[in-house]
Amino acid sequence: MTTLVSKYLDPNNICVINGGYEQSTALLDCHFDHICFTGSTSIGKIIASKAAETLTSTTLELGGKSPVVVLDDANFLVTARRILWAKVMNAGQTCIAPDYILVSEQSEPKLIEAMKQVMKEFFPPDNGNIQGNKLTTNKGEIIKLELNSGAQPESSDPDTLRIPLTLIRNVKIDDILMQEELFGPVLPILTYNNHHEDIVQCLYHINQ
């Protein structure tokens, strides 16, 4: 990107600066008309605080939990197709990918069966897997911790460096999977009994 931008675009209008924490911090000391940032909430807070010193406006696209709420009268096959299309794209590594599912206890088996059917229709066995040791290790640790707490994965292979789409059942709202954006093909499923109260309580707790 650095090579192509400098080759084809006017450097007075756009430039690419490579670096880490030191370079990013130094950039915040410059006075910009507007700051756009995509990344973690913790870094977003630092940028917002720094931008406030000069009253610089910001656009912050931060990591978060994107829920999918499935109701009992849903068309489960259509729902499964839409969820999986969004979740498996780029191995789940998109900012708007579904991060967890809320579904009633009675409808959970129907949804899981529909998702298994759609996976067979949509994707070959080697599609939608994470590439890269660090990210794979992180997700593997999350899956292992969830297994230790009693959560049940529908599919996973901890002995490889490739993670298929993994549905994890029996997840609680305070489990480690629910603490941060997953950014990978790991999809927790939470169940509810009372349609309104349980959903509102869950969303409120997770988004605190």
**Which candidate in 61, 113, 141, 197 is catalytic?**
61
CA–CA gap between residue 22 and residue 181 (Å, rounded): 25
CA–CA gap between residue 33 and residue 56 (Å, rounded): 6
Respond yes or no: is residue 113 known to be catalytic: no
- Secondary structure class of 35 (helix, strand, coil): strand
Element (H, E) at 152: strand 152-153
CA–CA gap between residue 184 and residue 98 (Å, rounded): 10
Element (H, E) at 76: helix 76-88
Q: What residues are labeled active site?
A: 61
